[in-house]
Copies of this chain bind each other. A is one copy, B any other.
């Protein structure tokens, strides 16, 4: 896998110098009076060639700015030096940062990135994956929205390196993420120390389970329940998991009720919730507390500062790329530890 002009190579003067079309192996062979095979041996540092001819070939190649044709190489090798990335969209603030990190890390590793968006459609996710495989990407970084043993089986059948990110399919696949359950539990510990008595949990529809992969959401929810239990709260939280969560919230009284904490499974929800509460003239955190999750970067412009859980989503991208490249190149894959997180104490709860 080492070419004299390898994919990591950053010399692109080829175009500036000799026009767009580069020189081919065949031409080098002619120039050097050797066969294509020999040129290949030199270029790819394969054994069975004398130092002398190798040097000569390398010199000519370098001088004429030879760069292997990726398409031809892909056809011959059956590999493309590309990584497929399947996300559901780029709207979520974290995803764009994630994608940014993936692109950067991939390029550093000599890979290109094919991005495909599923739009949260489970069938579309499969199509995207198959598209990528058909295009012969060498590996796939997948934020799965399908779930279950059936999907797990489906992925195995594909027989291609995969790393899952932000959502787990099964332990069979490497997973990049944080310990969402523990993180949410820690967050609840934090909230409970503040003396809240009533809890509302806002999250995406948990009933999607079975149809859509909501692993991370389940983990967070479980962490919430666990946290409450650990803190001696016996009453179950009010769970609002409808897309119309704002409307649902509007039916709830906060003034003449026990001090309430609205626990949101992600910051976007928390922001919407805060907007709603503010509209109602409720003071945060005096009348009602709010906590989010993700620490998206726009929080710094919002008052009051939202208390939330932070983790480095860029690291997700880096780890995912590192792992997928490992799988591709060495066939192996080390266990990926769950990444760190921490509570960001704002003033919203």
Contacts and interface: CB of A to CB of B under 8 A. Distances in A.
Interface stretch (A27-35, A87-95, A168-176, A248-256): A87-95
Nearest to A112: B114
Interface stretch (A38-46, A132-140, A231-239): A132-140
A272 B100 CA distance: 23
A15 B126 CA distance: 10
A70 interface: yes
A176 B130 CA distance: 32
A136 B275 contact: no
A183 B147 CA distance: 47
Nearest to A158: B20
Contact of A70 (B136, B159, B301): B136
A56 interface: no
A114 B113 contact: yes
Interface string A116-147: 11010000001100110111100000000000
Contacts of A302: 301-302
Nearest to A15: B130
Nearest to A81: B135
A103 B117 contact: yes
B300 A275 contact: yes
Nearest to A127: B12
A23 interface: no
Interface in A77-121: 80, 89-91, 93, 95-97, 99-100, 103-104, 107, 112-117, 119
A274 interface: yes
Contacts of A300: 275
Given A20-B159, A113-B114, A134-B67, A91 B100 contact: yes
A349 to B, nearest CB: 17
Nearest to A126: B12
B15 A133 contact: yes
A96 B90 contact: yes
A71 interface: yes
13 contacts: A12-B130, A12-B134, A19-B157, A22-B134, A71-B80, A72-B75, A90-B96, A93-B93, A103-B115, A103-B117, A107-B117, A114-B114, A278-B303
